[in-house]
Amino acid sequence: MIIRKIVLAVFATAMIVACGDKKGEKNSSESEFTRVGEPENMEVEVVENYFPKKEITPNVIQFYTIDNEKEFNQKFGVAKTMNNKVTPIDFSKNRVGVIILPETNKQTTIDIEDTERIGSGAVIEYEITEGEEQSFSTTPALIFKLPGDNRLKTIEFKAGKEVNVIGVPEK
């Protein structure tokens, strides 16, 4: 009977160790999804002349997608002047991807360096460049069009060794 209890305790301990949370072992530079399929080029178009509304200013960098006009209009306003063109977004054909940074008083740009689609996933490599201090604060954001089809399930955002993976909800 004692041997049975010892074996059971050893087995339970082994299961806890094997199934336990492995905090600290995952490197933020490691991808969280397995790439299946051949990489193919994925065209994205930067959406020009919209600004993030004050209510969505994050404390940390955020990544997300929006697939309907109502949600987009709740988060972003039109920055129309006499001399610029606002990029139209047809949500029946596209969804948008967003990279948004915390508020800053430095001139900041976010640029997409490369994009590719791998099966149901996408990889978007971007770069953040900080410039001179300004006398005012802004919330830097990059908005871009993505394919609106439901084949896209995950997006991996990469900046150097930093990797963030988000799920893409179905339309």
Query: What are the mean pLDDT values of the chain's consecutive 10-residue runs (171 residues total)?
Result: 45 43 39 65 93 90 96 94 91 95 97 94 96 96 91 94 94 76
**Which has the closest alpha carbon to 114: 144, 154, 76?**
144
Domain ranges of the chain: 25-167
For 116-162, the pLDDT digits (tens) are: 999 999 999 999 999 999 999 999 999 999 988 878 999 999 999 99
**Which has the closest alpha carbon to 40: 158, 150, 152?**
152
Q: What is the pLDDT of residue 7?
A: 39
State the pairing for strand pair 45-46/141-147.
antiparallel
Q: What is the pLDDT of residue 29?
A: 44
Residues 6+ apart with CB under 8 A from 137: 103, 104, 105
CB atoms within 10 A of CB 64: 17
Q: What is the pLDDT of residue 98?
A: 97
Q: What is the pLDDT of residue 138?
A: 94
User: Is pTM, for the whole model, over 0.85?
Assistant: no
H, E, C per residue of 116-140? EEECCEEEEEEEEEEEEEEEEEECC
Nearest-5° Cα angle at 80, 76 to 86: 75
Q: What is the pLDDT of residue 38?
A: 81
Q: What is the pLDDT of residue 163?
A: 96
Residues in the chain: 171
